[in-house]
Amino acid sequence: MILFTRPLFLLFRKLSIIGQAPVNAVLNLVPVVPRERENATFNVEKLTHILDGGIEKTKRRREIESLVISDPDFQSEDLNFLSRSERYDAAVKKSAQMILKLREYGISDPEEIYCYKSVFRGNHHEALGLHFNMFLPTLYTQCNKEQFEKWVPLAESFKALGTYAQTELGHGTHLRGLETTATYDPATQVFVLNSPTITSIKWWPGGLGKTSNHAIVLAQLHTQGKCHGLHAFIVPLRSMNTHIPLPGVVVGDIGPKFGFDEVDNGYLKLENVRIPRDHMLMKYAKVEADGTYVKPPSAKLTYGTMVFIRSMIVGEAGRALAKSCTIAIRYSSVRHQSEIRPGEPEPQIMDYQTQQYKLFPLLATAYAYKFVGQYMNQVYHRITGDISQGDFSELPELHALSAGLKAFTTWTASEGIEVCRMACGGHGYSRCSALPDIYVNFVPTCTYEGENTVMMLQTQTSTQLNVLVLYGQPCISFCLKASYANASLCVFRLVELAAKSIQQELQKRVSQEDAWNNSAIDLVRASDAHCHYVVVKLFAAKLGEIGDTGVHSVLSTLALLYALQGIQQHSGDFLQTGLLSVPQLSQVSQRLKELLAQLRPNAVALVDAFDYCDEMLNSVLGRYDGNVYEHMFEWARRSPLNKTEVRYLKPLQAKL
């Protein structure tokens, strides 16, 4: 039997739940998931350590999780049964409590703060998310020495509660099209900020509607009669004493969205708002007292916060998909349905090859994205370290990589979450499964911080010059060799096809811009293939770091499944580029089926290795103990509708 350890408090809680369950439920349902765990061929705990980055990190993560889970202040009512206003109020209350708890426990490391927040918010969002994720990071990276000394203490003490106001009502991903202006007045040494049109109103920033009293505002800088493009400004929005909007600031909540019910996404209209000259973030670009503009060493430095968030989103794609796979795979081991052979008991739906084909490639993708997220975190910190030393050479490559992988991972993760929901049948549609919440709160990543199609085109713009070098790299020498090599060659051929398409358009005597636009489908296709190749490459590189035989074996199976699934999904590309024949694609299909069968005994153990406790999943279907149906019934009975009587029907029932 495989060794599988969990925190003791979770074990005791699970035992108490099982002890209270009806005898037939315990006998018929609960043992199924533990039996699945006995089939594993690898040590789950060792794989968890790899995902966390080491034994000590796993230990510390669990300690932090236990602080939240055992805290009575965070035992709140199910958000699914609250109105939007109630959810927002609850989120603000919990965010404030969280900050006080972090101070009490002395948790200051950014990774540990992120871990604590991940547990306390579950599958929802916190009220102060943009303060932590965008306002503070922008201050850290773009304030000069004097600004840092003034603003960082205010932000870290939450006297200055901030958001990041970039997107406008009429412009989003096309940053050069933003219309908000910041015009410098040398006579008074202030910037005058304006929203000159209806489309220039800032729209969507989280925390803007009610919570924040400051914002980093992206605006077109005008000085000495010239426009110098987008720059970042610290703009007070509300009084730090009364929280009332300041003169010239028109601000409010934009209303309900498709998810994010706890977040006050807002609008901001600026009407001749005057801020001091030193409220422009001036670590790199600056405006002198007389209005002279000093340009930054790299124009992309203004967008550093976006690159940071895009890098984070890649990791979030892995986490969201891992949670969804955990729920769907555990439920698939509990649920019995139909017959494979007439007259025999209903099998687990995970025994159906079609169910495996839905879920196991997504499981492989979740692992791939987890490792890519680790890589992006390392690359971001390395390159930002170089930037702090004055080396900006790798910033364009980081911008391209974060843009492409952000688009690639969020597209596939969003689709994968929905597949997991449908794989759970009708019960996946219930919010008690948590899958609807995971979906509606993750899918906006396809548009925020850069609309995905535009991100893919930016990737192609930045990477095409390096493609000959990149895809000429030698292949790895293990079971992924053929698929890895074919993937790299396929990208190279697709880039060639896109380049030929542009050349053909130029021969028609159209402009370069029109030639690019008329070839955009080919460019996105090549960028998508490039990102798939990068993920396969990083997955393969991760395997080289793993010494445990059992873990290496199961991860190699996942890696090969991920690579071959990509080839099968894009078989037309491989046929068009002449890299694979129809018989070879048939062999790919057969090998895929074999890999599904190999992974079947390890499926539950592989999602267990993600180590999401029940409180983090908040899913009845994905319960660790597998006791699904009894708890679905209990959850449904808590619905507020069950506490009131029906109204308005009496007139229909009256006699004529």
Residue 175 is classified by DSSP as: G
Q: Please identify which of the residues 168, 449, 615, 630 carries the catalytic annotation.
A: 449
Given a contact cutoff of 8 angstroms between Cβ atoms, the answer to whether 528 and 493 are in contact is no
- The answer to whether 416 is annotated as binding is no
- Cα–Cα dist 539/545, whole Å: 10
The number of beta carbons lying within 10 Å of the beta carbon of residue 654 is: 7
Angle between the N-to-C axes of helices 55-69 and 110-121, in degrees from 0 to 180, rounded to the nearest 10:
40
Which residue in the block uniquely carries the two structure tokens 């994968």?
416
394 is catalytic: no
CB-side exposure of 228: number of CA atoms within 13 Å? 21
∠ Cα 542 547 549 (to 5°): 110
Adjacent-strand bridge partners of 293: 287
Q: Which of 137, 297, 326, 292 is nearest to 221 (CA)?
A: 292
Given a contact cutoff of 8 angstroms between Cβ atoms, the answer to whether 269 and 341 are in contact is no
Adjacent-strand bridge partners of 496: none
- The answer to whether 315 is annotated as binding is no
Q: Which of 603, 607, 598, 481 is nearest to 537 (CA)?
A: 481
Query: 3-state class of 178 per DSSP?
Result: coil
**Letter for the amino acid at 398?**
L
Phi first, then psi, for residue 296 (nearest 5°) are -80, 165
Given a contact cutoff of 8 angstroms between Cβ atoms, the answer to whether 237 and 164 are in contact is no
Given a contact cutoff of 8 angstroms between Cβ atoms, the answer to whether 375 and 276 are in contact is no
Q: Which of 222, 227, 171 is nearest to 200 (CA)?
A: 171
Which residue in the block uniquely carries the two structure tokens 């000959």?
468
Q: How would DSSP label each residue in 403-426?
A: HHHHHHHHHHHHHHHHHHHHHTGG
Instruction: Cite the annotated binding site for FAD by residue number.
Output: 167, 206
**Active site residues per annotation:** 449
Instruction: Cite the annotated binding site by residue number.
Output: 167, 206
